[in-house]
Amino acid sequence: MRTRRERALGARTWRVPAGRVLTSCVAAGAALWGAAGMAAADSPTPASSASASDASGDGPTEAGTSFRTATAVKPGQRATADASTGDYLYWVVPVDQGQQATVRAKVTLPKAARRGTATWQLDVYDGLRRRQACRYGAQTRAAAQDASSVELSCTLRTVRGWAEPWANDPLPGSYYVRLTVVDLPQEDLGQPVHAEVRADTAEAGGAQAVDGSLAAPLVPGAGTATPQDEATPQDGASASPDRATALAEPDGGWSSGWWSDRWIWTAAGGLLAALAGIWGYSLTRGSGRPSRVPPGA
Protein backbone atom coordinates (compact mmCIF):
# COMPACT_ATOMS: atom_id res chain seq x y z
CA MET A 1 0.00 0.00 0.00
CA ARG A 2 1.33 3.42 -1.00
CA THR A 3 1.69 6.09 1.63
CA ARG A 4 -0.10 9.42 1.47
CA ARG A 5 3.18 11.14 0.51
CA GLU A 6 3.71 8.76 -2.41
CA ARG A 7 0.13 9.28 -3.66
CA ALA A 8 0.57 13.06 -3.42
CA LEU A 9 3.81 12.91 -5.37
CA GLY A 10 2.16 10.66 -7.96
CA ALA A 11 -0.76 13.07 -8.37
CA ARG A 12 1.63 15.95 -9.03
CA THR A 13 3.78 14.27 -11.65
CA TRP A 14 1.55 15.39 -14.56
CA ARG A 15 1.86 19.06 -13.63
CA VAL A 16 5.58 19.26 -14.38
CA PRO A 17 5.41 18.48 -18.11
CA ALA A 18 2.38 20.76 -18.46
CA GLY A 19 4.36 23.70 -17.10
CA ARG A 20 7.25 22.87 -19.36
CA VAL A 21 5.01 22.70 -22.41
CA LEU A 22 3.46 26.05 -21.51
CA THR A 23 6.93 27.56 -21.18
CA SER A 24 7.87 26.07 -24.54
CA CYS A 25 4.77 27.62 -26.13
CA VAL A 26 5.66 31.05 -24.80
CA ALA A 27 9.32 30.71 -25.85
CA ALA A 28 8.39 29.48 -29.34
CA GLY A 29 5.87 32.26 -29.77
CA ALA A 30 8.43 34.87 -28.73
CA ALA A 31 11.04 33.42 -31.09
CA LEU A 32 8.64 33.36 -34.04
CA TRP A 33 7.42 36.85 -33.23
CA GLY A 34 11.03 38.03 -33.26
CA ALA A 35 11.67 36.24 -36.58
CA ALA A 36 8.64 37.90 -38.13
CA GLY A 37 9.79 41.24 -36.79
CA MET A 38 13.26 40.77 -38.29
CA ALA A 39 11.71 39.81 -41.62
CA ALA A 40 9.62 42.95 -41.56
CA ALA A 41 12.69 44.96 -40.60
CA ASP A 42 14.54 43.55 -43.60
CA SER A 43 11.89 45.02 -45.90
CA PRO A 44 13.02 48.26 -47.51
CA THR A 45 11.57 51.46 -46.12
CA PRO A 46 11.50 54.86 -47.78
CA ALA A 47 14.40 55.99 -45.62
CA SER A 48 16.56 52.95 -46.40
CA SER A 49 15.74 53.11 -50.09
CA ALA A 50 16.67 56.75 -50.13
CA SER A 51 20.00 56.24 -48.41
CA ALA A 52 20.92 53.34 -50.70
CA SER A 53 20.18 55.31 -53.83
CA ASP A 54 21.81 58.49 -52.58
CA ALA A 55 25.00 56.52 -52.02
CA SER A 56 25.02 55.54 -55.70
CA GLY A 57 24.85 59.17 -56.81
CA ASP A 58 22.28 61.76 -57.81
CA GLY A 59 19.49 60.96 -60.18
CA PRO A 60 18.92 62.30 -63.70
CA THR A 61 18.94 66.05 -64.30
CA GLU A 62 16.32 66.23 -67.02
CA ALA A 63 12.79 65.03 -67.71
CA GLY A 64 10.99 63.65 -70.72
CA THR A 65 8.18 65.46 -72.50
CA SER A 66 5.91 62.45 -73.13
CA PHE A 67 5.28 58.89 -72.01
CA ARG A 68 7.62 57.57 -74.69
CA THR A 69 10.51 59.80 -73.68
CA ALA A 70 9.98 59.64 -69.89
CA THR A 71 13.25 59.71 -67.97
CA ALA A 72 13.90 56.54 -65.97
CA VAL A 73 14.45 57.00 -62.22
CA LYS A 74 15.20 54.40 -59.59
CA PRO A 75 13.17 54.33 -56.35
CA GLY A 76 14.67 56.74 -53.84
CA GLN A 77 16.59 58.78 -56.40
CA ARG A 78 16.08 62.52 -56.62
CA ALA A 79 15.45 63.59 -60.19
CA THR A 80 15.71 67.25 -61.20
CA ALA A 81 14.87 69.21 -64.31
CA ASP A 82 14.96 72.81 -65.48
CA ALA A 83 11.95 73.65 -67.62
CA SER A 84 9.54 76.37 -68.57
CA THR A 85 6.16 76.97 -67.03
CA GLY A 86 3.63 75.11 -69.12
CA ASP A 87 5.88 72.17 -70.04
CA TYR A 88 4.82 68.59 -69.36
CA LEU A 89 7.55 66.76 -67.42
CA TYR A 90 7.64 62.95 -67.36
CA TRP A 91 9.61 60.42 -65.31
CA VAL A 92 9.18 56.65 -64.99
CA VAL A 93 9.93 54.51 -61.93
CA PRO A 94 9.55 50.73 -61.38
CA VAL A 95 7.21 49.56 -58.60
CA ASP A 96 6.94 45.87 -57.73
CA GLN A 97 4.06 43.93 -56.23
CA GLY A 98 3.52 44.32 -52.52
CA GLN A 99 5.06 47.80 -52.56
CA GLN A 100 3.48 51.13 -51.79
CA ALA A 101 4.92 54.09 -53.67
CA THR A 102 4.96 57.70 -52.54
CA VAL A 103 5.86 60.33 -55.13
CA ARG A 104 6.90 63.81 -54.02
CA ALA A 105 7.55 66.82 -56.19
CA LYS A 106 8.84 70.31 -55.48
CA VAL A 107 8.69 73.14 -57.99
CA THR A 108 10.86 76.20 -57.41
CA LEU A 109 9.07 79.13 -58.99
CA PRO A 110 10.77 82.00 -60.79
CA LYS A 111 11.77 85.08 -58.81
CA ALA A 112 10.46 87.34 -61.54
CA ALA A 113 7.15 89.06 -60.91
CA ARG A 114 4.19 86.84 -61.76
CA ARG A 115 0.72 87.96 -62.74
CA GLY A 116 -1.31 85.61 -60.55
CA THR A 117 -1.81 82.23 -58.88
CA ALA A 118 -0.51 79.09 -60.59
CA THR A 119 -1.98 75.63 -59.95
CA TRP A 120 0.39 72.68 -60.27
CA GLN A 121 -0.61 69.03 -60.51
CA LEU A 122 1.18 65.69 -60.02
CA ASP A 123 -0.26 62.66 -61.85
CA VAL A 124 0.84 59.02 -61.73
CA TYR A 125 0.05 56.46 -64.44
CA ASP A 126 0.69 52.72 -64.48
CA GLY A 127 2.23 50.64 -67.26
CA LEU A 128 -1.10 50.61 -69.12
CA ARG A 129 -1.15 54.42 -68.87
CA ARG A 130 -4.14 54.36 -66.55
CA ARG A 131 -4.20 57.27 -64.15
CA GLN A 132 -3.91 55.97 -60.60
CA ALA A 133 -5.76 57.52 -57.71
CA CYS A 134 -3.84 58.74 -54.67
CA ARG A 135 -4.69 57.33 -51.26
CA TYR A 136 -3.57 60.56 -49.68
CA GLY A 137 -1.36 63.51 -50.39
CA ALA A 138 -1.69 66.94 -51.98
CA GLN A 139 -1.83 66.02 -55.65
CA THR A 140 -2.88 69.51 -56.75
CA ARG A 141 -1.80 72.77 -55.15
CA ALA A 142 -2.07 76.43 -55.96
CA ALA A 143 0.98 78.66 -55.61
CA ALA A 144 0.25 82.23 -54.68
CA GLN A 145 1.61 85.07 -56.76
CA ASP A 146 4.46 85.70 -54.29
CA ALA A 147 5.20 82.02 -53.44
CA SER A 148 8.76 80.84 -54.00
CA SER A 149 7.93 77.12 -54.34
CA VAL A 150 5.12 74.58 -54.26
CA GLU A 151 5.26 70.99 -53.02
CA LEU A 152 3.04 68.09 -54.05
CA SER A 153 2.80 64.42 -53.07
CA CYS A 154 0.85 61.31 -53.99
CA THR A 155 0.79 57.98 -52.15
CA LEU A 156 -0.51 55.18 -54.35
CA ARG A 157 -2.42 52.11 -53.33
CA THR A 158 -0.42 48.95 -52.69
CA VAL A 159 0.59 47.29 -55.94
CA ARG A 160 -1.17 43.96 -56.41
CA GLY A 161 0.27 40.85 -58.01
CA TRP A 162 -2.75 40.49 -60.27
CA ALA A 163 -6.26 41.88 -60.68
CA GLU A 164 -9.51 41.17 -62.46
CA PRO A 165 -9.80 42.57 -66.00
CA TRP A 166 -12.48 45.02 -64.93
CA ALA A 167 -10.50 46.35 -61.96
CA ASN A 168 -8.29 49.42 -61.96
CA ASP A 169 -5.89 48.05 -59.34
CA PRO A 170 -2.25 49.10 -59.61
CA LEU A 171 -0.12 46.30 -61.06
CA PRO A 172 3.65 45.73 -60.99
CA GLY A 173 5.61 47.48 -63.69
CA SER A 174 6.55 50.97 -64.84
CA TYR A 175 4.85 53.96 -63.26
CA TYR A 176 4.90 57.28 -65.06
CA VAL A 177 5.05 60.52 -63.10
CA ARG A 178 3.78 63.65 -64.81
CA LEU A 179 4.24 67.13 -63.43
CA THR A 180 2.73 70.21 -65.02
CA VAL A 181 0.88 73.44 -64.36
CA VAL A 182 -2.85 73.25 -65.05
CA ASP A 183 -3.97 76.79 -64.41
CA LEU A 184 -2.14 80.13 -64.49
CA PRO A 185 -2.37 83.53 -66.16
CA GLN A 186 -1.46 83.45 -69.84
CA GLU A 187 1.27 86.03 -69.28
CA ASP A 188 3.17 83.69 -66.93
CA LEU A 189 3.67 80.93 -69.50
CA GLY A 190 7.27 80.23 -70.41
CA GLN A 191 8.88 81.45 -67.20
CA PRO A 192 11.75 79.22 -65.99
CA VAL A 193 11.11 76.76 -63.15
CA HIS A 194 13.16 74.09 -61.39
CA ALA A 195 11.46 70.75 -60.59
CA GLU A 196 12.53 68.02 -58.18
CA VAL A 197 10.82 64.62 -58.08
CA ARG A 198 11.42 61.62 -55.86
CA ALA A 199 9.57 58.29 -55.62
CA ASP A 200 10.02 56.14 -52.51
CA THR A 201 8.73 52.57 -52.16
CA ALA A 202 7.98 50.60 -49.01
CA GLU A 203 6.91 46.99 -48.51
CA ALA A 204 3.27 46.70 -47.44
CA GLY A 205 3.73 43.25 -45.87
CA GLY A 206 1.82 39.99 -46.09
CA ALA A 207 -1.49 41.60 -45.14
CA GLN A 208 -1.64 43.03 -48.67
CA ALA A 209 -0.35 39.92 -50.47
CA VAL A 210 -2.51 38.08 -52.99
CA ASP A 211 -2.30 34.60 -54.45
CA GLY A 212 -1.20 34.97 -58.04
CA SER A 213 0.99 37.18 -60.15
CA LEU A 214 1.30 38.49 -63.68
CA ALA A 215 3.26 36.51 -66.24
CA ALA A 216 5.39 39.62 -66.77
CA PRO A 217 5.43 43.13 -65.27
CA LEU A 218 3.82 45.95 -67.23
CA VAL A 219 6.98 47.38 -68.74
CA PRO A 220 6.40 48.68 -72.28
CA GLY A 221 8.82 47.13 -74.74
CA ALA A 222 12.23 46.01 -73.55
CA GLY A 223 12.40 48.92 -71.14
CA THR A 224 11.81 52.62 -70.92
CA ALA A 225 14.60 54.55 -72.58
CA THR A 226 15.77 57.98 -71.61
CA PRO A 227 15.79 60.82 -74.12
CA GLN A 228 19.54 60.28 -74.59
CA ASP A 229 18.99 56.62 -75.48
CA GLU A 230 16.29 57.56 -77.97
CA ALA A 231 18.46 60.10 -79.73
CA THR A 232 19.48 59.23 -83.25
CA PRO A 233 22.54 56.97 -82.95
CA GLN A 234 25.65 57.76 -84.88
CA ASP A 235 27.58 55.43 -87.20
CA GLY A 236 24.69 53.01 -87.38
CA ALA A 237 24.84 52.13 -83.67
CA SER A 238 21.58 51.37 -81.91
CA ALA A 239 20.39 52.61 -78.54
CA SER A 240 21.45 50.49 -75.58
CA PRO A 241 18.48 48.32 -74.49
CA ASP A 242 20.45 46.89 -71.55
CA ARG A 243 20.74 50.27 -69.84
CA ALA A 244 17.09 51.04 -70.46
CA THR A 245 16.00 47.65 -69.10
CA ALA A 246 18.22 47.99 -66.02
CA LEU A 247 16.73 51.36 -65.18
CA ALA A 248 13.20 50.09 -65.78
CA GLU A 249 13.27 47.40 -63.08
CA PRO A 250 14.03 47.33 -59.32
CA ASP A 251 17.61 46.78 -58.18
CA GLY A 252 16.90 43.21 -57.09
CA GLY A 253 14.80 42.35 -60.14
CA TRP A 254 11.08 41.75 -60.28
CA SER A 255 9.50 39.65 -57.55
CA SER A 256 8.57 36.05 -58.38
CA GLY A 257 5.32 36.44 -56.47
CA TRP A 258 5.42 33.26 -54.37
CA TRP A 259 7.02 34.61 -51.17
CA SER A 260 5.54 36.92 -48.56
CA ASP A 261 5.80 37.19 -44.79
CA ARG A 262 2.45 35.40 -44.57
CA TRP A 263 4.51 32.20 -44.70
CA ILE A 264 6.12 33.16 -41.40
CA TRP A 265 2.80 33.82 -39.69
CA THR A 266 1.31 30.60 -41.09
CA ALA A 267 4.22 28.54 -39.77
CA ALA A 268 4.06 30.35 -36.43
CA GLY A 269 0.34 29.69 -36.09
CA GLY A 270 0.76 26.02 -36.97
CA LEU A 271 3.55 25.50 -34.44
CA LEU A 272 1.72 27.30 -31.67
CA ALA A 273 -1.43 25.25 -32.37
CA ALA A 274 0.59 22.02 -32.15
CA LEU A 275 2.20 23.07 -28.86
CA ALA A 276 -1.18 24.11 -27.47
CA GLY A 277 -2.59 20.69 -28.41
CA ILE A 278 0.25 18.91 -26.62
CA TRP A 279 -0.23 21.08 -23.57
CA GLY A 280 -3.97 20.46 -23.55
CA TYR A 281 -3.44 16.74 -23.82
CA SER A 282 -1.01 16.76 -20.90
CA LEU A 283 -3.62 18.60 -18.82
CA THR A 284 -6.39 16.12 -19.51
CA ARG A 285 -4.53 12.79 -19.31
CA GLY A 286 -3.70 13.16 -15.58
CA SER A 287 -1.19 10.97 -13.75
CA GLY A 288 -2.19 7.74 -15.51
CA ARG A 289 -3.79 6.22 -12.37
CA PRO A 290 -7.52 5.60 -11.81
CA SER A 291 -9.39 8.60 -10.49
CA ARG A 292 -10.65 6.55 -7.52
CA VAL A 293 -8.35 4.26 -5.58
CA PRO A 294 -10.09 1.29 -3.93
CA PRO A 295 -9.96 1.33 -0.12
CA GLY A 296 -7.00 -0.50 1.30
CA ALA A 297 -4.88 -0.15 -1.86
* Residue 148 covered by a domain: yes
Residue 204 CA to residue 170 CA, distance in Å, equals 14
* Residue 107 covered by a domain: yes
What are the start-end ranges of the H helices in the chain?
A: 4-12, 15-42, 46-55, 241-247, 262-285
Rg of the chain over Cα atoms, rounded to whole angstroms, equals 30
Instruction: Please indicate, yes or no, whether residues 212 and 226 belong to a single structural domain of this protein.
Output: yes
Instruction: Please indicate, yes or no, whether residues 112 and 177 belong to a single structural domain of this protein.
Output: yes
Q: Tell me, what's the pLDDT at 36? A: 46
Instruction: Please indicate, yes or no, whether residues 96 and 29 belong to a single structural domain of this protein.
Output: no
Instruction: Please indicate, yes or no, whether residues 126 and 185 belong to a single structural domain of this protein.
Output: yes
**Average pLDDT score over residue span 69-92:** 94
Instruction: Please indicate, yes or no, whether residues 242 and 165 belong to a single structural domain of this protein.
Output: yes
Instruction: Please indicate, yes or no, whether residues 8 and 109 belong to a single structural domain of this protein.
Output: no
Top pLDDT among 283 and 36 is at 283
pLDDT band (50, 70, 90) for residue 101: very high
Residue 23 CA to residue 275 CA, distance in Å, equals 10
* Residue 102 covered by a domain: yes
Instruction: Please indicate, yes or no, whether residues 18 and 72 belong to a single structural domain of this protein.
Output: no
Answer whether 87's CB lies under 8 Å from 64's CB.
no
Model pLDDT for residues 168-197, shown as the tens digit of each residue:
888 899 999 999 999 999 998 999 999 999
Instruction: Please indicate, yes or no, whether residues 12 and 87 belong to a single structural domain of this protein.
Output: no
With the CA atoms of 102, 76, 70 and 131 taken in that order, what torsion angle do they form, in degrees rounded to the nearest 10? Answer: -10
Answer whether 180's CB lies under 8 Å from 120's CB.
yes
* Residue 296 covered by a domain: no
Instruction: Please indicate, yes or no, whether residues 59 and 12 belong to a single structural domain of this protein.
Output: no
Instruction: Please indicate, yes or no, whether residues 85 and 165 belong to a single structural domain of this protein.
Output: yes
Instruction: Please indicate, yes or no, whether residues 191 and 270 belong to a single structural domain of this protein.
Output: no
Residue 230 has pLDDT above 60, yes or no: no
CA distances from 52 to 10, 155, 250, 279 (A): 63, 21, 13, 47
Residue 169 CA to residue 172 CA, distance in Å, equals 10
* Residue 293 covered by a domain: no
* Residue 155 covered by a domain: yes
Domain that holds residue 33: 4-40+263-285
Q: How many helices (H) and strands (E) does the chain have?
A: 5, 10
Answer whether 91's CB lies under 8 Å from 79's CB.
yes
* Phi, psi of 122, deg, nearest 5: -115, 120
* Residue 35 covered by a domain: yes
Instruction: Please indicate, yes or no, whether residues 57 and 100 belong to a single structural domain of this protein.
Output: yes
3-class DSSP state for residue 28? Answer: helix
Nearest to 73, CA basis, from 264, 244, 255, 189:
244
Model pLDDT for residues 42-62, shown as the tens digit of each residue:
443 333 333 333 434 478 999
pLDDT band (50, 70, 90) for residue 245: very low
> How many folded domains does the chain comprise?
2
* pTM score, whole prediction: 0.65
* Residue 297 covered by a domain: no
